[in-house]
Amino acid sequence: DIQEIIAICKNDQALSSYFAISTGITDRDIAVLDEKIAACAVHGVNVQFICVDVANGYMAKLVEVCKTIRDKYPNINLIAGNVVTREVTEELIINGKVDIVKVGIGSGSVCTTRLQTGVGMPQLSAVMECADAAHGLGGHIMADGGCTCSGDVAKAFGAGADFVMLGGMLAGHDECEGDVVEVDGVAHKRFYGMSSTTAMQRHNGGVATHRASEGKTVMVPYRGGVSETIQGILGGLRSACTYVGADSLKALPKCTTFVRCRRQLNNIFK
């Protein structure tokens, strides 16, 4: 809720650097976006990121909307996606005037797009291809989906990602929305994909007759506060940089070589 974000940021202005207002590409979506940015401005909250978020980034409409938003808000960092290929990454940066391209189709833990539609691309390959295209144009990419542990986050940065988006790894914590419920004597919280029936019922009044759900709704074990999980991720990233000789996340791709293997872990003691 935008009023909640305003209240948090008014309490600490530095936090205005850490949220993005998300929008779709319909006229109504853009009108709501304008209302939210205006509300933030009234309260002195500086919006620094807008995310134009659609499941299928392969539409001319996405580029048009991004260009419109850029013309309207020239000083805001613009994020858009999702895509998985070089050509549309370049299209969004060159013609859509996007700063950060969101990469990933079907790779999320509660996403069923690949099962429902057969569409998708292995996430590591997509990140490598899109990062190469974006960096040649002065743009950035955000790897969206596919991370299950801190090692996966390190691989995403090593493949060229500038930002990594996490869903399942952060689900189940106090900071996540939703109530704690007991399932078979164990505390859980609900986690769902944004193309799931749960999300569409909540945000769009139900699943449209011409659509199918492309996401799951699952119960994940309750995990308490997020700080320990974040510390584990940051610790894994620091150690990864040490192993490969990188003095920063930006240097990781230059120090990283990928080798395909059948089994990464020794699972004799599970």
Q: How far is CA 140 from the centre of its chain?
A: 13
Of the CA atoms within 13 Å of residue 187, those in its CB half-sphere come to 9
Give the three-class secondary structure for 96. coil
Rounded CA separation 21/5 (Å): 10
* C-beta separation of 119 from 90 below 8 A: no
Give pTM, 2 decimals.
0.89
What sign has the CA pseudo-torsion 242, 244, 246, 248? negative
- State the catalytic residues: 111
Question: What tens-digit pLDDT sequence spans the chain (270 residues)?
Answer: 889 889 988 888 888 888 899 999 999 999 999 999 999 999 989 899 999 999 899 999 999 999 999 999 999 999 998 999 999 999 999 999 999 999 999 888 888 888 888 898 999 999 999 999 999 999 999 999 999 999 999 999 999 999 999 999 999 999 988 888 888 899 998 887 766 777 667 766 676 776 677 777 888 899 999 999 999 999 999 999 999 999 999 999 999 999 998 888 888 887
Rounded CA separation 85/23 (Å): 22
Tokens of 239: 């150690």
